[in-house]
Structure 1
Amino acid sequence: MIRLVPNHAGRIERTAQVTFTFEGQPVHGHAGEPLVSALLRAGHLSLREAPNDQAPRGAFCCMGLCQECTVRIHGQTIEACRTYVSADLIVERI
């Protein structure tokens, strides 16, 4: 028998919504959430290109092990899953 779990989605408290830029375009996210989550929710599935064949790459492990979600933030290369959303982010594809 399957026990149904009540839907508690309405009880989730979000932080303030902020705007950052990705490839020069504004993206909305919640302060403190993982950057990769905000980018995926905004429809940005391809975050970089593979160095050998330029195939699109995006989120894979979402915990900083695979480096598939690396982006450039203020000139530094960093994993989007290990960075938190803030209003001052300027994010670019690599």
Structure 2
Amino acid sequence: MSSRLVPTERDATGRGGRPLRITVDGVPADGIAGQTLAGLLLASGRSSWRQAPSGAPRGVFCGIGVCFDCLVTVNGEPDVRACRRRAVDGDEVTTGSRAVPRPTDGPESGTGEGQ
């Protein structure tokens, strides 16, 4: 984690935002009103929160919503860009790769005819 990140209580810019709490993969994470989800995740010590299909870690890359490397699921809504969405008290965030569902039966799964 970057040594340049400043904990909220030592932030000299005087950001007096209202405290908020979200849940990330079932674990509480604290932030302040106005933070993006990506900012809150970074400030809580996470530098990556999903994997590319190759297995490489992904988190914030561009920070402006162009690259889609920071995708998370928020309150059940998939593919939310964490760098563009402000955190809201009570948000439930799920991280991880977005796996394409595999068929469970039939020719495509190898359990049916045609294999």
| Higher strand fraction (1 or 2) | 1
Which amino acid is 2:83 matched to?
A: C
TM-score, length basis structure 2: 0.68
> Alignment partner of 2:12: what SS?
helix
TM-score, length basis structure 1: 0.82
Unmatched segments (≥5 aa) in structure 2: 1-10, 97-115
Does structure 1 residue 72 correspond to structure 2 residue 77?
no
Does structure 1 residue 30 correspond to structure 2 residue 40?
no
Give the distance between the partners of 1:82 and 1:73, measured in 2 at CA. Answer: 12
- Higher Cα radius of gyration: 2
Unmatched segments (≥5 aa) in structure 1: 1-8
Higher relative contact order (Cα pairs below 8 Å, separated by 6+ residues): 1
Equivalent pairs, count: 85
Aligned to 1:93: 95
Which amino acid is 1:73 matched to?
A: V
Which amino acid is 2:39 matched to?
A: S
**1:11-48 superposed Cα distances (whole Å, 9 cap, x missing partner):** 52321111101111000011121110110010111111
Give the distance between the partners of 2:94 and 2:13, measured in 1 at CA. Answer: 34
Aligned to 2:12: 10
